[in-house]
């Protein structure tokens, strides 16, 4: 993507930067910033290649755009005051950051904290008779809704989870952790509308993803492998040795057998990657190893259980490593050990992280270093992240604004940029906005989750949806989402449109707009509908800040991070 921005612009920026560096324009003292490369190394790079490291406030802006759901007004100043490296350190240790205000905002979302068994009790399945009556036309849709109201349906669980995700993205102080929860949920994706996952999905994020989002990668694999949501979503709960017959229950006597769905995705998507060197034989062997990993009473209790009767007790060979016969439940644990210790896994996870934080085309040298960090720390996520954040590739001019925001990142960053707040209700409306732009939350049906590459998200319909969201948000059309435009232009004389524009651009995009965008917005200022007499202001021409803000949020620059 960066190459597409044109060599002329690139050379000019580089030249400007070099001048900036030489002229000592940077406001951050070198000692403040442990992330910065040592001066001699930087100097070497300058001589070896054009100066490509971003510095000063631009670096803070860059870090905020990558490690948070977008900068809020005042964030740059706050990070500058704390020191960038201190701020990054804190984000890497989210437990040290007080976040009570966010938790307060989530209290009304009761299903977030509900154990699976309770969720299954609280949201019973509709009586099959009701469904039959609806299908036969005996009962109208309206009657069905009365007998089985929406708030009593399990869809409420995913709905509240969506709202919580938005609220957290907008207000949490633990921004990096929230990004990583999103990243790992997507990596270990489950589809919230598949069968019993409806009841399990909130518990899945709470129990299997969030606790390990900044911890050890192998623990994430273990936690997801054991969780009823994953066991159900990828069908492992049903997988059994080939000649197994169901001993009891409604399916008593029915033959069950091997299901290789989880085994394949565990290797392809969760650990080794599709080019990780496994074969169809490995898929079958891994599936055999996980037979018996199932869900106890999935419709009333829903927790992991190992059922020896379903388990294939024979020997397995996975990636050339022998798992002796008779291992029982430990077969699956052994497979996880083998897979998470594989260099292919280190490289695959490193690649995905670098793609998230640096570039759609991950620099191979950085991937190698991050993979090495994985290997030397047994997959410590914070260590890998630190390697990325401290790398010259991360702070390079090539990486600056090179990523295009995913729809949800765009929605959250727009609210944050306008100094917005939202309650749970507003969260649901914003989740719908994300869906309209192409990313319905917790609704990725395939196990690949959502793509993390710009070209997937940039298309005609989605761009219009982004512009329309910007218009709706800036004009206050999202109930329960409060934005504060006045502080964004504080100090600027409302009768002087260009002053308002300058202040607004400084607040929303930290002045990082191209000259073309500024020129267009300046032209817009002469539109009578922009500089108009507002009904609540009898004074002189009053600039329509909301319209200008919408244009900025919908502009090409704001789609990047």
Binding to another protein, residues 346-375 (CB under 8 A)? 360-361
Q: Does 448 bind another protein (CB under 8 A)?
A: yes
Task: Give the interface segment with another protein, choosing from 80-88, 116-124, 481-489, 509-517 (CB under 8 A).
Answer: 509-517
Residue 445 near another protein by CB under 8 A: yes
Residue 465 interacts with another protein (CB under 8 A)?
A: yes
Note whether 522 binds another protein by CB under 8 A.
Answer: no
Query: In the beta sheet, which residues pair with residue 316?
Result: 323
Number of residues in contact with another protein, rule: CB under 8 A?
A: 72
Closer CB to another protein, 283 or 335, in the complex: 283
Select 40 or 529, whichever has its Cβ closest to another protein: 529
Smallest distance from the beta carbon of 261 to another protein, in angstroms?
Answer: 5
E strand segments, 234-390? 293-296, 303-306, 316-318, 321-323
Number of helices followed by number of strands (H, E) in the chain: 27, 8
Question: Which of 180, 530, 545, 549 lies at the binding interface for another protein (CB under 8 A)?
Answer: 530
Alpha-carbon distance of 98 to 96, in angstroms, equals 7
> Which residue in the set 264, 311, 386, 403 belongs to the binding site for another protein (CB under 8 A)?
264
Among 460, 535, 538, 539, indicate the residue that binds another protein (CB under 8 A): 460
- β-partners of residue 323 are 316
Q: Which of 419, 533, 412 is nearest to 487 (CA)?
A: 419
Span from 20-28, 389-397, 443-451, 498-506 in contact with another protein (CB under 8 A) = 443-451
Q: Is 324 in the site for another protein (CB under 8 A)?
A: no
Nearest approach, Cβ of 330 to another protein (angstroms)? Answer: 22
Phi and psi angles of residue 366, each rounded to the nearest 5 degrees, phi first: -70, -40
Taking each helix axis as running N to C, give the angle between helix 407-417 and helix 460-474, from 0 to 180 degrees, rounded to the nearest 10.
Answer: 20
Query: For another protein, which residue of 280, 535, 536, 539 counts as binding (CB under 8 A)?
Result: 280
Residue 260 is a binding residue for another protein (CB under 8 A): yes
| 477 counts as binding another protein under rule CB under 8 A | no
- 263, two tokens: 């085994």
Q: Are 531 and 519 in contact (CB under 8 A)?
A: no
Q: Does 436 bind another protein (CB under 8 A)?
A: yes
Is residue 369 within 8 Å of 386, Cβ to Cβ?
A: no
From 258, 495, 496, 506, residue interacting with another protein (rule: CB under 8 A): 258
Is residue 150 part of the contact set for another protein (CB under 8 A)? Answer: no
Q: How far apart are CA 165 and CA 146, in angstroms?
A: 29
Cβ proximity of 485 and 415 under 8 Å: no
As a whole number of angstroms, the distance between CA 9 and CA 18 comes to 14
Residue 315: partners with Cβ closer than 8 Å, 6 or more residues away: 322, 323, 324, 325
Which residue carries 């497979």 as its tokens? 335
Q: Interface with another protein by CB under 8 A: which range of 29-37, 215-223, 372-380, 550-558?
A: 550-558
The nearest distance, CB 521 to another protein, in angstroms, is 8
Q: Is 541 in the site for another protein (CB under 8 A)?
A: no
3, 78, 121, 152: which one binds another protein (CB under 8 A): 3
| DSSP annotation string for 391-438 | STTTTBTTTTT-SBPPHHHHHHHHHHHTT-EE-HHHHHHHHHHHHHTT
- Taking each helix axis from N to C terminus, what angle separates 424-436 and 155-171, rounded to the nearest 10 degrees? 100
Specify the residue, 278 or 389, whose C-beta has the smaller distance to another protein.
Answer: 278
| Residues between 170 and 229 with contacts to another protein, criterion CB under 8 A | none
**What's the min distance (Å) between Cβ of 475 and another protein?**
9
Identity of the residue, 142 or 529, whose beta carbon is nearer to another protein in the bound complex: 529
């Amino acid at each position: 993507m960066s190459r597409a921005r044109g060599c002329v612009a690139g050379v000019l920026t580089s030249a400007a930067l070099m001048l900036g560096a030489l002229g000592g324009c940077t406001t951050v003292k070198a000692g403040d910033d442990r992330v910065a490369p040592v001066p001699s190394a930087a100097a070497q790079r300058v001589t070896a290649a054009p100066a490509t490291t971003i510095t000063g406030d631009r670096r803070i802006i860059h870090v905020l755009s990558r490690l948070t759901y977008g900068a809020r007004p005042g964030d740059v100043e706050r990070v500058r005051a704390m020191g960038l490296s201190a701020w990054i350190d804190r984000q890497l240790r989210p437990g040290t950051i007080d976040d009570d205000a966010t938790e307060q905002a989530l209290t009304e979302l009761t299903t977030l904290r509900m154990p699976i068994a309770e969720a299954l009790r609280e949201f019973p399945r509709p009586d099959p008779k009701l469904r039959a009556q609806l299908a036969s036309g005996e009962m109208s849709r309206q009657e069905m809704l009365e007998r089985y109201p929406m708030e009593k349906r399990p869809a409420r669980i995913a709905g509240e989870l969506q709202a919580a995700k938005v609220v957290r993205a907008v207000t949490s102080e633990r921004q990096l952790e929230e990004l990583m929860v999103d990243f790992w949920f997507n990596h270990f994706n489950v589809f919230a509308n598949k069968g019993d996952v409806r009841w399990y999905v909130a518990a899945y994020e709470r129990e299997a993803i969030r606790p390990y989002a900044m911890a050890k990668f192998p623990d994430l694999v273990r936690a997801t492998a054991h969780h009823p949501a994953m066991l159900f979503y990828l069908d492992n709960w049903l997988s059994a040795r080939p000649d197994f017959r169901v001993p009891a229950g409604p399916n008593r006597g029915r033959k069950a057998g091997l299901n290789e769905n989880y085994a394949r995705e565990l290797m392809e998507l969760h650990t080794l990657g599709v080019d990780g060197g496994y074969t169809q034989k490995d898929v079958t062997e891994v599936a055999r190893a996980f037979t018996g990993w199932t869900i106890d009473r999935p419709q009333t209790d829903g927790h992991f259980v190992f059922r020896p009767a379903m388990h294939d007790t024979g020997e397995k060979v996975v990636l050339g490593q022998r798992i002796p016969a008779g291992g029982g439940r430990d077969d699956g644990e052994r497979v996880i050990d083998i897979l998470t210790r594989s260099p292919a896994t280190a490289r695959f996870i490193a690649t995905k992280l670098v793609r998230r934080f640096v570039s759609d085309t991950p620099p191979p040298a950085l991937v190698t270093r991050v993979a090495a960090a994985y290997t030397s720390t047994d997959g410590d996520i914070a260590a890998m992240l630190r390697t990325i954040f401290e790398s010259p590739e991360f702070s390079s001019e090539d990486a600056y604004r090179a990523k295009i925001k995913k729809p949800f990142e765009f929605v959250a960053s727009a609210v944050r940029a306008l100094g917005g707040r939202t309650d749970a209700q507003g969260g649901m409306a914003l989740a719908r906005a994300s869906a309209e732009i192409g990313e319905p939350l917790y609704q990725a049906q395939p196990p690949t989750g959502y793509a993390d590459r710009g070209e997937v998200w940039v298309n005609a319909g989605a761009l219009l949806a982004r512009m329309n969201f910007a218009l709706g948000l800036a004009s206050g059309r999202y109930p329960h989402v409060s934005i504060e435009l006045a502080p964004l232009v504080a100090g600027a004389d409302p009768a002087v449109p260009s002053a308002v524009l300058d202040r607004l651009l400084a607040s929303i995009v930290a002045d990082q707009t191209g000259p073309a965008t500024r020129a267009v917005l300046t032209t817009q200022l002469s539109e009578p509908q922009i500089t108009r007499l507002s009904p609540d202001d009898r004074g002189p021409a009053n600039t329509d800040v909301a319209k200008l803000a919408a244009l900025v949020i919908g502009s090409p620059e704001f789609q990047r991070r």
